[in-house]
Structure 1
Amino acid sequence: MQHSPRGTLFLWPDHWQVIGHLVPNRPHRHISASWLVGLDGPFRLQVGGHWRMTSAALVAPDVEQSLDPGDTRMWCAQLDPDSDFWRALQHRLGDQPSVDIPVTQASLHSESSGDCQAVWQALSSAVKQLGGSPEPMDRRVRKICDELRSQLPDKVDVARLAQAVGLSSSRLSHLFRQQTGVTLRRFLLHLKMNQVLAQWERGKSMSQLAMDAGFYDQPHFVRTARGMFDAMPSEYVTTGAFSVCRCGPSSSPSLS
C-alpha cells in the first residue's frame, strides 16, 4: 500500500531544507548549521546533553544535537558553513552552541507551497528579519571552499591548498576552522554527503553512490551518514517517506 509522503526535502548546492513530520533521533553531529522551527508548536531539542523546549532554534556547525519533534511538523534547514544564510545568522550565537530565535508566524506562510522558490524565499525573509547581511568571508578561505566544491577530491591536501593561497598549513587549518566552525576534513565530508543526497535516486546502489562521492568504501559512507544524521539517506529518499525537490541556482537569488 502506497503511503503519502511525510514531507518534502528541498536540495540546493549550499543548503537543504526539509518540511514535514520527522521522527525523533539520537545524538548526532551535523557538519552544517541547523535551523529548526516547529510549525504547529514547540518541540524538544537536546544540545550538549541538555534538553529544552523551544519553538525555533539555531545550532552551530559541528555541534552534537538530538531532536524530538513530537506531533509538530518541522521546518528544518541544514546550512553549509560557507553559505550566505549561515553567515547572516552566525552572529546570533556568539560563543554559544545553540540559541532560541524569534521566528514570526508571518515568515512561515510561503514554506508550505512545495515550490523551491517559495521555500527559499521563506527562509530568506526569516533570515533577513533576524540578522541582516552575510558576514564577509576571508577571500582565501572562500577560494578553498569553492575549490573543494568544484573538485570534490578524495581527501584534503592541506599543504597544496595552503600553498595555493599563500599560507602555511597550520595557518590555513586555523583560519578555516575560525571562519567556518569546522575543519577542512569535516567540510569535505559534508560536501561528499551532499553529493550523495543530490544524486540519490531509486534503483541506484548505495555502494555506487558512495564511490561516486569519493567515500573510501560503503562502511565509511555508512559511518559518516549515521554520525551526521542518525539515519541513512535511503530512509528519507528511496522509501518514499519524503518527496525530493532538487532546486537549482535560479531558485536561490542573492541573499544580500
Structure 2
Amino acid sequence: MNSITHILEKSVAGERLTFDEGLALLQSHDLVAIGKAANAVTTRLHPEPYRTYNIDRNINYTNICTAVCDFCAFYRGPKEEGGWVLPREELLKKVEETVALGGDQILMQGGLHHEYKLEWYEELLQDIRSRFPTVNLHAFSPPELFHFTKLNGLSIKDVLQRLKAAGLGSIPGGGAEILVDRVRDEMTRGKVSTDDWLEVMRVWHEMGGHSSATMMFGHIETLEERIEHLER
C-alpha cells in the first residue's frame, strides 16, 4: 500500500488530518493519487454536475504603503516618487467596465495609506454602492483593516461595522502570506502579526461576514510552516 493511501482515504471520508499526515502529503510526489483524492472530496461536497464561477476585477486604489514587504514591487513609501491614489472617477469607471462585461464583484485592495481616515473608505464604498448596487464589494484585507484601527483609534469591530454599513460585502484574505511570525518578521515590516490577522477574521465572521483566505508559499517558509499556516 502506498504510504499516503490511508491519509488520502481519511481525507476523502471527510476526516480531519493530523499535522504529520498533512506534512506527509506535502512531501509526497504522488500527484496523481493526491489529485484523484482532491477530486473525490470536491465531488462529495459538490455532487452537482456543474461548477460555478464569478466575474470580478481587482482594483488597487493606492500603492502608497507604510509597510515594507520584501516580495512587493508594487508599493511606494509615503515620501517616495511613484506613489499614487486612483482618482475616484477613474475607479468608478473601472467598476462600470466590469459590470458591462457581466461582472458581479470587485476585489478592492491597496497599500496602508498613512493619512486617509476611515471616512474616506466609507465614502468610497458608498459611492460604488450607490451606482452599482448589485456588485459585491470584496474589499480591504486584514492588514488594511487593522491599519484602519490604529489610524482612527477604533476597535476592529467598530471599523468593520462602519464599513459594512457603508457597503462592504466580504473581505479578501490577503496579507496572510504564511501565518507564522518567524516568516512574517523576516519578510515584512510594519504589517500585522499572525494573531492580529486572525483576530480581524474572527471578529468579521462573528458578525456573520464572509471572507476568503490566502497562502503565499514557495519562499523562506518550511514545509512544517505551511502546515502550521493551514492549521491556523
Q: Which has the higher helix share?
A: 2
Q: Which has the higher strand share?
A: 1
TM-score when normalising by structure 2: 0.26
TM-score when normalising by structure 1: 0.25
Higher RCO, 1 vs 2 (CA within 8 Å, ≥6 residues apart): 1
Larger Rg: 2
